[in-house]
Amino acid sequence: MTERLVPGDTAPAFSLPNADGGTTALQDFTGQNVVVYFYPAAATPGCTKEACDFRDNLASLKSAGYQVLGISPDPVAKLAKFAAKEELTFPLLSDEDHAVADAYAAWGEKKNYGKTYQGLIRSTIVVDGSGKVALAQYNVRATGHVAKLRRDLKIDA
């Protein structure tokens, strides 16, 4: 497992297929603050809650200067269906081989009901306009995470 990112680290570059059929790269957002959040699986209860929280807070995040990108190991078709069903208005990116999650230390050992396995660790990394990590949060909870992130970034309601 890659060592967890900390503020000041250079954010690993990436370019991934998105739910709209195109490609989204971190460098597309040079000069902007970007919230990169990793979630295990589209259309599951926790991931839906988290995605809808980002959707519902997107205007205030954008007005504070933050773009949002969601990354999961789901295939593009599943992401497109999820985005349409939940009316998500920010890019959802497909990282099927979890190479980007690996680079961001968002892929690793998980435990569930006594079983240990490799999987996506729900994580949020905020990248500043110069490509440096401004904030790195791992093992976040789906419910209430966006509210906590807003507090941590000092974004008013």
DSSP characters over 77-129:
HHHHHHHHHHT--S-EEE-TT-HHHHHTT-EEEEEETTEEEEEEPPEEEEE-T
**DSSP string for residues in 21-48:** SSEEEGGGGTTSEEEEEE-S-TTSHHHH
pLDDT of 4: 95
pLDDT of 1: 58
Domain boundaries, the chain: 15-152
Provide the sign of the torsion angle of the four alpha carbons 154, 103, 117, 83, taken in this order: positive
For the chain (157 residues), the mean pLDDT of every run of 10, in chain order, is 90 98 97 97 95 96 97 97 97 98 94 89 97 96 94 87
Active site residues: 47
The reported pTM is 0.95
Assess contact for 86 and 53: CB atoms under 8 A: no
pLDDT of 157: 61
Place of tokens 């259309």: 43
Residues 6+ apart with CB under 8 A from 48: 42, 82, 86
Q: Which fold has domain 15-152?
A: Glutaredoxin (3.40.30)
Nearest-5° Cα angle at 49, 152 to 9: 40
